[in-house]
């Protein structure tokens, strides 16, 4: 299951359970209290006393790629197949070498395997609605548990900071963030003039062919949030906010394409890791309604790879992909 599809399911669960979105922290100093050996950490599941310097960490969900990148002291992880293509060779080797104590979904949590790993900290990286599917009390009997999950598609920045901080790797996280920020600023300067005044729209990867829908993403969504860091502007908003991811993404019928993209000057769209459009995107690209859009007629349509990035390290690849996609603008 991809990050985008995972989020759609999480958003649906959030609506069904009427769970409030948002991270369980005010973004302040997470180490406000400390006695030297432990500290109190603000997480989605409350104020949790954790080791000040964890030595044996288990990570699940979105915390897996973050803590591999941050070189945390991992002793067990959940599988994270959706992120494997975005890992470096060294990160993939680390991933392959670690015991898998859970699968891709909460129901595949192996509590015995987690206990066998003897962690001193467990970092759960799933959206809040999914926490209801995990036996937190059982995990807490093994080690302190901090749940730090995404509140929306663009929340990976704060989410990854907190996960790295909990695992005692704030310094490593900052180095990755600095590298990303430097690259984003470089591209912002490179494309500043050609992007000025351009209004973009984004076609996402998760329309449903069988239902005749397309995936429209606005600012702060998967396909848009990293491009925004270099100055791409995505005006507009969903017709009806549904909480979490549904605040920035919607799934209209194909017939609504002209209305949805009528006022944009350019369009980005999500492509797969091989650079090709997925089935749901291709059905839109092949439609007569798409071909008649002003941005398409003006040849201002750009496919973006690696929109699934949820760490600063992987988002560097996204920036490179955005650079390659938008390069033709510099020649016009």
Concatenating the DSSP letter of every residue in 265-327 gives SEEEEE--TTSPPPHHHHHHHTSHHHHTSHHHHTT-EEEE--TT--SHHHHHHHHHHHHHHHG
Whether 218 and 280 map to the same domain: the answer is: yes
CB-CB neighbours of 239 under 10 Å: 10
Whether 161 and 263 map to the same domain: the answer is: no
Residue 119 lies in a domain: yes
Whether 10 and 156 map to the same domain: the answer is: yes
Write down the pLDDT at residue 36: 53
Phi then psi for 266, rounded to 5 degrees?
-150, 160
Whether 45 and 131 map to the same domain: the answer is: yes
Residue 262 lies in a domain: yes
Digitized pLDDT (tens) for each residue of the chain, 332 residues in all: 444 454 444 444 333 333 333 333 333 344 334 345 999 999 999 999 999 999 999 999 999 999 999 999 999 999 999 899 899 999 999 999 999 999 998 889 999 999 999 999 999 999 888 888 999 999 999 999 999 999 999 999 999 999 999 999 999 999 999 999 999 999 999 999 999 999 999 999 999 989 999 999 999 999 999 999 999 999 999 999 988 889 999 999 999 999 999 999 999 999 998 899 999 999 999 999 999 999 999 999 999 999 989 999 999 999 999 999 999 999 97
CA 313 to centroid of chain Cα atoms: 12
Write down the pLDDT at residue 61: 95
Write down the pLDDT at residue 216: 98
Distances 57 to 89, 150, 192, 216 between C-alpha atoms, Å: 22, 20, 42, 38
Whether 165 and 211 map to the same domain: the answer is: no
Whether 119 and 221 map to the same domain: the answer is: no
Q: Structurally, how many domains does the chain consist of?
A: 2
Distances 167 to 67, 87, 90, 303 between C-alpha atoms, Å: 8, 20, 20, 36
CB 75, CB 140: distance < 8 Å: no
Distances 20 to 14, 155, 244, 285, 326 between C-alpha atoms, Å: 8, 15, 9, 36, 37
Closest by CA position to 203, among listed 245, 257, 240: 257
CB-CB neighbours of 13 under 10 Å: 17
- What is the gyration radius of the CA atoms in the chain, in angstroms? 20
Q: Which domain holds residue 152?
A: 3-16+39-169
Whether 66 and 105 map to the same domain: the answer is: yes
Q: What CATH number is associated with residue 306?
A: 3.40.50.1980
CB-CB neighbours of 76 under 10 Å: 23
Residue 310 lies in a domain: yes
**Angle at CA 186, nearest 5°, toward 184 and 188?**
70
Residue 289 lies in a domain: yes
Q: Return d(Cα 278, Cα 262) in angstroms, integer.
A: 23
Residue 267 lies in a domain: yes
Residue 33 lies in a domain: no
Residue 9 lies in a domain: yes
Write down the pLDDT at residue 243: 87
The pairing of beta strand 57-61 with beta strand 33-34: unpaired
Which residue in this structure is represented by tokens 């129901």? 107
The pTM of this model reads 0.87
Whether 150 and 205 map to the same domain: the answer is: no
Whether 206 and 93 map to the same domain: the answer is: no
């Amino acid at each position: 299951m991809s990050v985008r599809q995972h989020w759609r399911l999480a958003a649906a669960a959030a609506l069904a359970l009427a769970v409030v979105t948002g991270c369980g922290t005010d973004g302040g100093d997470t180490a406000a209290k400390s006695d030297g050996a432990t500290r109190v950490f603000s997480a989605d599941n409350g104020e949790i006393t954790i080791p000040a310097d964890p030595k044996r960490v288990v990570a699940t969900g979105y915390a897996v790629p973050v803590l591999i990148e941050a070189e945390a002291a991992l002793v067990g992880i959940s599988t994270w197949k959706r992120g494997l293509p975005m890992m470096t060779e060294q990160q993939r080797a680390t991933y392959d070498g670690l015991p898998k104590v859970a699968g891709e979904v909460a129901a595949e949590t192996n509590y015995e395997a987690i206990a066998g790993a003897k962690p001193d900290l467990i970092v759960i990286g799933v959206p809040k609605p999914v926490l209801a599917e995990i036996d937190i009390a059982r995990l807490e009997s093994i080690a302190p548990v901090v749940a730090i999950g995404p509140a929306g598609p663009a929340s990976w920045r704060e989410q990854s900071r907190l996960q790295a901080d909990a695992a005692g790797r704030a310094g490593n996280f900052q180095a990755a963030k600095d590298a990303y920020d430097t690259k984003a600023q470089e591209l912002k300067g490179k494309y500043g003039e050609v992007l000025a005044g351009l209004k973009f729209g984004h076609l996402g990867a998760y329309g449903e062919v069988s239902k005749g829908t397309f995936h429209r993403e606005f600012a702060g969504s998967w396909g848009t949030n990293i491009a925004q860091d270099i100055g791409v502007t995505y005006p507009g908003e969903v017709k009806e906010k549904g909480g979490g991811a549904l605040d920035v993404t919607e799934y209209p019928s194909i017939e609504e394409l002209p209305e949805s993209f009528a006022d944009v000057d350019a369009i980005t769209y999500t492509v797969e890791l091989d650079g090709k459009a997925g089935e749901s995107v291709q059905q839109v690209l092949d439609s007569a309604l798409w071909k008649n859009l002003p941005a398409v007629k003006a040849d201002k349509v750009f496919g973006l790879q690696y929109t699934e990035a949820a760490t600063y390290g992987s988002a560097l690849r996204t920036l490179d992909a955005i650079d390659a996609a938008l390069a033709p603008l510099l020649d016009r």
